[in-house]
Amino acid sequence: MTEQPTRISVGDLEIRFLVQDSDSNGALTMFECRVPAGARVPAAHSHDGFEETIYGLEGITTWMVEGEAREIGVGDALCIVRGLVHGFVNHGTTDARFLAVAAPGVLGPSYFKDIGAVLAADGPPDPVTIAEVMRRHGLTPAAQPE
Protein backbone atom coordinates (compact mmCIF):
# COMPACT_ATOMS: atom_id res chain seq x y z
CA MET A 1 0.00 0.00 0.00
CA THR A 2 1.08 3.57 -0.65
CA GLU A 3 2.29 4.96 2.70
CA GLN A 4 1.99 8.71 2.02
CA PRO A 5 -0.36 10.02 -0.66
CA THR A 6 1.53 11.44 -3.64
CA ARG A 7 0.83 15.19 -4.04
CA ILE A 8 1.31 16.83 -7.42
CA SER A 9 0.78 20.45 -8.49
CA VAL A 10 -0.48 20.84 -12.03
CA GLY A 11 -0.76 24.53 -12.79
CA ASP A 12 -3.45 25.82 -10.41
CA LEU A 13 -4.65 22.32 -9.47
CA GLU A 14 -3.42 20.09 -6.68
CA ILE A 15 -3.70 16.33 -7.12
CA ARG A 16 -3.31 13.92 -4.20
CA PHE A 17 -3.13 10.24 -5.12
CA LEU A 18 -4.77 8.01 -2.53
CA VAL A 19 -4.69 4.66 -4.37
CA GLN A 20 -2.23 3.84 -7.13
CA ASP A 21 -2.42 0.94 -9.56
CA SER A 22 0.17 -0.99 -7.53
CA ASP A 23 -2.11 -0.70 -4.46
CA SER A 24 -5.10 -2.22 -6.27
CA ASN A 25 -3.44 -4.83 -8.47
CA GLY A 26 -4.24 -2.54 -11.41
CA ALA A 27 -7.99 -2.47 -10.69
CA LEU A 28 -8.19 1.29 -10.10
CA THR A 29 -6.49 4.52 -9.17
CA MET A 30 -8.04 7.13 -6.92
CA PHE A 31 -7.05 10.74 -6.42
CA GLU A 32 -8.38 13.91 -4.85
CA CYS A 33 -8.26 17.09 -6.90
CA ARG A 34 -8.37 20.63 -5.47
CA VAL A 35 -9.64 23.19 -7.97
CA PRO A 36 -9.29 26.84 -6.92
CA ALA A 37 -12.05 29.22 -7.99
CA GLY A 38 -11.40 30.35 -11.56
CA ALA A 39 -8.46 27.94 -12.00
CA ARG A 40 -7.12 26.97 -15.40
CA VAL A 41 -8.23 23.40 -15.96
CA PRO A 42 -7.31 20.57 -18.34
CA ALA A 43 -8.49 20.67 -21.94
CA ALA A 44 -11.61 18.69 -22.76
CA HIS A 45 -10.68 15.10 -23.55
CA SER A 46 -11.83 11.51 -23.65
CA HIS A 47 -10.22 8.21 -22.74
CA ASP A 48 -10.80 4.78 -24.21
CA GLY A 49 -8.92 2.73 -21.60
CA PHE A 50 -10.85 3.50 -18.42
CA GLU A 51 -14.02 4.82 -16.82
CA GLU A 52 -13.73 7.82 -14.50
CA THR A 53 -16.09 8.39 -11.57
CA ILE A 54 -16.20 11.79 -9.87
CA TYR A 55 -17.49 12.39 -6.33
CA GLY A 56 -17.90 15.94 -4.97
CA LEU A 57 -16.14 16.67 -1.66
CA GLU A 58 -16.24 20.47 -1.38
CA GLY A 59 -17.57 23.38 -3.44
CA ILE A 60 -19.01 22.90 -6.93
CA THR A 61 -17.36 21.93 -10.17
CA THR A 62 -19.25 22.10 -13.45
CA TRP A 63 -18.59 19.15 -15.73
CA MET A 64 -19.30 19.19 -19.44
CA VAL A 65 -19.89 15.67 -20.75
CA GLU A 66 -20.61 15.44 -24.46
CA GLY A 67 -21.74 19.09 -24.38
CA GLU A 68 -24.11 18.69 -21.42
CA ALA A 69 -23.39 20.63 -18.21
CA ARG A 70 -23.63 18.88 -14.84
CA GLU A 71 -22.85 20.51 -11.49
CA ILE A 72 -21.10 18.27 -8.98
CA GLY A 73 -21.37 19.46 -5.40
CA VAL A 74 -20.75 17.77 -2.06
CA GLY A 75 -22.07 14.20 -2.23
CA ASP A 76 -22.86 14.28 -5.96
CA ALA A 77 -21.38 11.65 -8.27
CA LEU A 78 -20.85 11.30 -12.00
CA CYS A 79 -19.55 8.33 -13.99
CA ILE A 80 -17.86 9.23 -17.27
CA VAL A 81 -17.75 6.17 -19.48
CA ARG A 82 -15.02 5.47 -21.99
CA GLY A 83 -15.02 7.58 -25.11
CA LEU A 84 -17.14 10.49 -23.84
CA VAL A 85 -15.61 13.96 -24.26
CA HIS A 86 -15.54 15.78 -20.94
CA GLY A 87 -13.94 18.57 -18.95
CA PHE A 88 -14.64 20.65 -15.87
CA VAL A 89 -14.42 24.16 -14.44
CA ASN A 90 -14.90 25.88 -11.10
CA HIS A 91 -17.05 28.96 -11.77
CA GLY A 92 -17.61 29.51 -8.05
CA THR A 93 -15.96 31.92 -5.66
CA THR A 94 -14.56 29.20 -3.38
CA ASP A 95 -12.21 26.29 -3.95
CA ALA A 96 -13.70 22.94 -4.88
CA ARG A 97 -12.47 19.41 -4.29
CA PHE A 98 -13.52 16.15 -5.86
CA LEU A 99 -12.50 12.53 -5.65
CA ALA A 100 -11.79 10.75 -8.96
CA VAL A 101 -11.64 7.00 -9.45
CA ALA A 102 -10.25 5.60 -12.70
CA ALA A 103 -10.97 1.93 -13.41
CA PRO A 104 -8.96 0.07 -14.41
CA GLY A 105 -6.00 1.84 -12.82
CA VAL A 106 -4.17 3.03 -15.92
CA LEU A 107 -4.13 6.77 -15.07
CA GLY A 108 -1.44 7.42 -12.49
CA PRO A 109 0.78 10.11 -11.00
CA SER A 110 3.15 10.05 -13.98
CA TYR A 111 0.51 11.70 -16.21
CA PHE A 112 0.04 14.60 -13.82
CA LYS A 113 3.80 14.97 -13.25
CA ASP A 114 4.40 15.07 -17.03
CA ILE A 115 1.65 17.64 -17.65
CA GLY A 116 2.85 19.67 -14.65
CA ALA A 117 6.35 19.81 -16.15
CA VAL A 118 4.97 21.15 -19.45
CA LEU A 119 2.95 23.82 -17.63
CA ALA A 120 5.93 24.82 -15.45
CA ALA A 121 8.23 25.38 -18.47
CA ASP A 122 9.15 28.92 -19.51
CA GLY A 123 6.68 30.65 -21.80
CA PRO A 124 3.09 29.74 -22.62
CA PRO A 125 2.24 26.02 -22.57
CA ASP A 126 2.72 24.35 -25.95
CA PRO A 127 -0.60 22.76 -27.02
CA VAL A 128 1.19 20.23 -29.23
CA THR A 129 3.35 19.02 -26.33
CA ILE A 130 0.32 18.88 -24.02
CA ALA A 131 -1.57 16.78 -26.59
CA GLU A 132 1.43 14.44 -26.92
CA VAL A 133 1.59 13.92 -23.15
CA MET A 134 -2.15 13.31 -23.01
CA ARG A 135 -2.01 10.71 -25.78
CA ARG A 136 1.00 8.98 -24.21
CA HIS A 137 -1.09 8.44 -21.05
CA GLY A 138 -4.29 7.27 -22.77
CA LEU A 139 -6.20 10.56 -23.02
CA THR A 140 -7.43 11.96 -26.33
CA PRO A 141 -7.66 15.76 -26.53
CA ALA A 142 -11.01 16.94 -27.89
CA ALA A 143 -11.04 18.85 -31.13
CA GLN A 144 -10.94 22.57 -30.35
CA PRO A 145 -13.58 24.78 -31.98
CA GLU A 146 -12.13 27.07 -34.63
What pLDDT shows up at residue 33? 97
Checking if the pLDDT of 90 tops 50, the result is yes
Q: Return the CATH fold of 6-140.
A: Jelly Rolls (2.60.120)
Helix (H) or strand (E) holding 113: helix 109-120
pLDDT at 97 over 60: yes
pLDDT at 106: 92
Parse the chain into domains and list their residue ranges.
6-140
Q: Give, in degrees to the nearest 5, the angle at Cα 24 between 22 and 29.
A: 85
What residues are paired with 6 via a beta bridge? 17
Q: In this predicted structure, what is the pLDDT of residue 40?
A: 86
First to last CA, the chain: 46
If you average pLDDT over residues 120-145, what whole number do you get? 87
Average pLDDT of the segment spanning 125-129: 88
What was the pLDDT predicted at 139? 93
Average of per-residue pLDDT across 2-28: 88
Give the burial class of 30: count Cβ atoms within 10 A of its Cβ; 0-12 exposed, 13-18 middle, 19 or more buried.
buried
pLDDT of residue 120: 87
Residue 4 pLDDT greater than 90, yes or no: no
